[in-house]
């Protein structure tokens, strides 16, 4: 009878070790999954922002040339467009900086907390 209790304890200890190892592996895999979700969401947003930036850059150059052509000197158009972007930068820096930071924080937090299809219930 004494040998049987020792056997049960060893089996319980072995199963507990297996459970702990499996739980640690699962935690690591879930953490990696969350990190990959955040990184992939950030990269996809960055690609969209990059193309938007390229569009705005080319549109700005076009608008600058058009305004310069209308005003008679090419540099007038570039100066007006640069001043426009300068005003936008000042407004963002003064008034929308906290809002922009909060928006980025919320985006990253939503990506971290988002429940995947395998984690429901």
Burial (Cβ within 10 Å: 0-12, 13-18, ≥19) of residue 41 = middle
Is the pLDDT at 60 greater than 70, yes or no?
yes
Is the pLDDT at 86 greater than 70, yes or no?
yes
Per-domain boundaries in the chain: 35-113
Phi, psi of 118 (to 5 degrees): -85, -5
Predicted TM-score (pTM) of the model is 0.62
**Cα dihedral 47/51/54/60 (nearest 10):** -130
Contact by Cβ (8 Å): 38, 112: yes
Query: Of the given ranges (17-26, 30-39, 107-116), which has the lowest mean pLDDT?
Result: 107-116
**Within its chain, how far is the Cα of 13 from the centroid?**
42
């Amino acid at each position: 009878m004494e040998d049987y209790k020792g056997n049960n304890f060893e089996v319980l200890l072995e199963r507990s070790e297996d459970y702990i190892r499996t739980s640690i592996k699962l935690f690591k895999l879930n953490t990696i999954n969350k990190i990959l979700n955040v990184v992939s969401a950030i990269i996809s947003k960055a690609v969209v922002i990059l193309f938007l930036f390229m569009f705005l850059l080319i549109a700005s150059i076009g608008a600058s040339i058009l305004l310069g052509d209308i005003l008679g000197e090419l540099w007038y158009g570039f100066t007006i467009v640069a001043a426009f972007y300068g005003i936008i930068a000042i407004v963002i820096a003064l008034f929308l900086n906290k809002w922009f930071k909060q928006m980025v924080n919320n985006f990253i937090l939503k990506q971290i907390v988002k429940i995947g299809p395998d984690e429901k219930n």
